[in-house]
Amino acid sequence: MRIIVAATTLLVTHELTNFSNAFTSNPTARRSSVGGATGTSLRRPRGIVSAAPASYKQLNAASSNSDEWDDSCDVLVLGSGPAGCAIASVLGANGNLDVVVANQVFEADWVPNYGVWKDEWKTITDRYESVGIDLKGGDVIDREWPVTDCYFGGSYDIPTEDRARFDRPYCRVNRFGLKESLTKNFRVVEANHISEAIGINMFKPTGSLVHDEDGTTIKLQPKDADAPPLTMRTKIVIDTTGHETKLTLKDSIEPHTPPGFQIAYGALVEVDESQSPNLSMIGPYDKEAMTLFDYRTDHFDGDESASIKATKAPTFMYAMPLEGNKIFFEETSLVARPAVSFQECKDRCFRRLEHLGIDVSKVEEEEYCYIPMGGALPARDQRILGFGGAAAMVHPSTGYHLCRALMGATDAAKAIQEELTLEKPNLDRAVASAYNALWSQGNIRQRNFATFGGEFLMEQDVVGLRGFFDGFFKLPLELWGGFLAGWPGLAYNENHESWAKRIWFGLSFIVKLPFPVALDMFLSIVTYSIFNEGWSLIGSVTPFLDDPPSYEYKPNNDRVGDVAAKKEAVGMIRQSKAFAEMPTEVAVLSSSMETIDKEMTEQV
């Protein structure tokens, strides 16, 4: 049996962003990644294990580094999960940038099971095809279900056995194929950073990470703990080490609620079908359907204590039928604060399967998923670009992440590429532009709307959640699909990108809900708006409040002052008959005007 620990995964789109928190009990089951992940280093620096493709224009620069460091690159990506490899691959796709990915365990498999909506995945493949990266074909998608099923029976006169079916295809991503597709445009260093942010652009230990006008010098610890750190010189550092990163600071100024946590226990199992009356089914689950939610709790009937516990702290079953008698089950707590325990999820999983008459003959893999959802966005004015979980890109009310990270990678990479092609790039502006590509003011407003959704879901017992989702999926696909996407460029997201469309969604939704749930939502809107998040919910559905603070680059003009006023003073002093000669201070000011004008022009 293979045991998988996932430090950060998804509701149905699981992602591991920091492989130092993952292990498997069966090393022989691991596969080697390909495409730029093996070879020898350019300069024999300690811990560098792979060479860049020969097409990089920066090879000569990387191989002629100063004696002060072991290697250099244009962009250093810390972490090698899907988020890290995606942005590294896109950055290196045009061959103009030398990109390095650093992770002591880069060769480790991506271990969680990834699931995506078919139409959402097409938006990803189309975007990646436009930058020269192929994510299509059976090597990346290894299973497709034409329909998606849900079970919300047991409340509001919905029979327990009632099934809701949606004609929206769902796909399973081949994690090995995805990694192969995203590891072709960069070099690899098997080393981890050793730094921790103690303030904006300040790090400990002293000297472990230092920014200057032309880039960053960072120390990386190779896999061999006894080896001395290697020193890397780079223009930009991208942090994809996960939600609880030590490098990317969170915003402590803007109001925010603390994160909730999605916890899941998953098991890839074989089922004994020798007594099955219908081999097209596994228990109640159709092999040709993906089951997204099973929120029924009839497996606790007769056990008052367990039933009360399951009502107050709900979990649902998620089921992916694979080949033959193999199926992946996952018992999931959607979002809670504090988190539901893994043991509770595991116990509920097998109790549910036993109740449904599903005889598990073999457990091939176990998966433990921990996903912080919501919380603060990254602090502004950082030179390090947080990305993926480090930039709080997980959907705050569903846990979706993979497609959001893959789509966001193209936008952030474009901002960096455009700045680094300039004759004299401004690295602060490059990172600020990338942050703004991820978290525009419009996207922040949309996130604020979804954050309220996560808070409301945490307040619900299982009866409330059944009523909530029964109403949610009665909306048109364009509305509920857009809410689940929650990211620019993904399928149906255009239906949530303005305050007017979000208020229309809310009004359309609340009338679909059972009255007790609708009333609870109305009261939650009132209390949340008054006591939480600085009126962010109201700002997300009306035009009346100011925009949230922007991540756009803003030059620091404090040292320049009012240039027009100073120019006027210089001119008037020169013409004045009260001065026999130009005062020293004014002479210095006058001589520096041309330089100031040039600097301000460059900043603009």
Question: What confidence tens digit (pLDDT) does each residue in 106-148 have?
Answer: 999 998 899 999 999 999 999 999 999 999 766 899 999 999 9
Q: Where are the beta strands (DSSP E) in 47-126?
A: 71-78, 99-102, 114-117
Q: Is the pLDDT of residue 222 over 80?
A: yes
449-467 pLDDT, tens digit per residue, is 999 999 999 999 999 999 9
Q: Do 215 and 345 lie in a common domain?
A: no
| Lowest-confidence region among 75-79, 310-314, 389-393, 592-596 | 592-596
Q: Do 183 and 165 lie in a common domain?
A: no
Place 11 in a pLDDT band, splitting at 50, 70 and 90.
Answer: very low
Q: Are strands 164-166 and 99-102 parallel, antiparallel or unpaired?
A: unpaired
What phi, psi does 324 have (nearest 5°)? 60, -120
pLDDT (0 to 100) of residue 61: 44
41-58 pLDDT, tens digit per residue, is 333 334 445 544 434 444
Q: Is residue 442 situated within a structural domain? A: no
Residue 67 sits in a domain whose CATH number is 3.50.50.60
Number of Cβ atoms within 10 Å of the Cβ of 166: 17
Q: Is the pLDDT of residue 35 over 60?
A: no
Q: Do 293 and 423 lie in a common domain?
A: no
Place 14 in a pLDDT band, splitting at 50, 70 and 90.
Answer: very low
pLDDT (0 to 100) of residue 36: 36
Q: Is residue 549 situated within a structural domain? A: no
Query: Which among 350, 388, 375, 41 has a CA at the least distance from the CA of 220?
Result: 41
Q: Is residue 369 situated within a structural domain? A: yes
Tokens matching residue 428: 């602060």
| Lowest-confidence region among 22-26, 246-250, 287-291 | 22-26
371-385 pLDDT, tens digit per residue, is 999 999 999 999 999
Mean residue pLDDT of the chain comes to 88
Query: Which among 535, 449, 493, 593 has a CA at the least distance from the CA of 117?
Result: 493
Q: Is the pLDDT of residue 406 over 50?
A: yes
What mean pLDDT do residues 88-117 have?
95
- Tell me which DSSP letter residue 40 carries: -
pLDDT (0 to 100) of residue 33: 32
| Lowest-confidence region among 413-427, 523-537, 579-593 | 579-593
Q: Is the pLDDT of residue 27 over 60?
A: no
Percent of the chain with pLDDT over 90: 76
What mean pLDDT do residues 26-42 have?
33
435-448 pLDDT, tens digit per residue, is 999 999 999 999 99
What phi, psi does 237 have (nearest 5°)? -110, 130
DSSP 120-158: HHHHHHHHHHHTT----STTTEEEEESEEEEE--SSTT-
- Tell me which DSSP letter residue 388 carries: G
Q: Is residue 1 situated within a structural domain? A: no
Place 581 in a pLDDT band, splitting at 50, 70 and 90.
Answer: low
What mean pLDDT do residues 74-88 have?
98
- Tell me which DSSP letter residue 578 carries: S
Q: Is residue 62 situated within a structural domain? A: yes
CB under 8 Å to 290, separation ≥6 — which residues? 115, 145, 147, 148, 149, 170, 319, 320, 321
Are 501 and 193 contacting, i.e. CB atoms less than 8 angstroms apart?
no
pLDDT (0 to 100) of residue 336: 98
| Lowest-confidence region among 73-77, 178-182, 253-257 | 253-257
Residue 310 sits in a domain whose CATH number is 3.30.9
Percent of the chain with pLDDT over 70: 84
Q: Where are the beta strands (DSSP E) in 548-594?
A: none
Q: Do 398 and 423 lie in a common domain?
A: yes
Longest Cα–Cα distance in the chain: 109
Q: Do 343 and 228 lie in a common domain?
A: no
Are 48 and 230 contacting, i.e. CB atoms less than 8 angstroms apart?
yes
Place 157 in a pLDDT band, splitting at 50, 70 and 90.
Answer: very high
Q: Is residue 467 situated within a structural domain? A: yes
Domain boundary among 332, 350, 373: 373
Q: Is the peptide bond before 338 cis (omega within 30 degrees of 0)?
A: yes
Domain span holding position 570: 563-603
pLDDT (0 to 100) of residue 348: 98
Tokens matching residue 99: 């990109």
The single-letter code of the amino acid at 182 is: L
Helix (H, G, I), strand (E, B) or coil at 417: helix
Q: Do 71 and 112 lie in a common domain?
A: yes
Q: Is residue 556 situated within a structural domain? A: no
How many domains does the chain fold into? 4
What mean pLDDT do residues 181-202 have?
96
Q: Do 369 and 383 lie in a common domain?
A: no
Q: Do 405 and 266 lie in a common domain?
A: no
| Lowest-confidence region among 60-69, 324-333, 361-370, 537-546 | 60-69
Q: Do 197 and 53 lie in a common domain?
A: yes
Helix (H, G, I), strand (E, B) or coil at 329: strand
| Lowest-confidence region among 61-75, 254-268, 273-287 | 61-75
Q: Do 279 and 338 lie in a common domain?
A: yes
pLDDT (0 to 100) of residue 597: 59
Domain boundary among 352, 373, 394: 373
Q: Do 70 and 207 lie in a common domain?
A: yes
Domain boundary among 437, 459, 483: 437
Q: Is residue 54 situated within a structural domain? A: yes
Read off the pTM: 0.86
pLDDT (0 to 100) of residue 471: 98
**Is the four-CA dihedral 80, 83, 86, 88 of positive or negative sign?**
negative
Where does residue 423 rank: exposed (0-12), middle (13-18), buried (19+ CB within 10 A)? exposed
What mean pLDDT do residues 281-297 have?
98
Q: Do 85 and 211 lie in a common domain?
A: yes
Are 250 and 445 contacting, i.e. CB atoms less than 8 angstroms apart?
no
Q: Is the peptide bond before 277 cis (omega within 30 degrees of 0)?
A: no
Quick one: how far is CA 140 from the chain centroid? 20
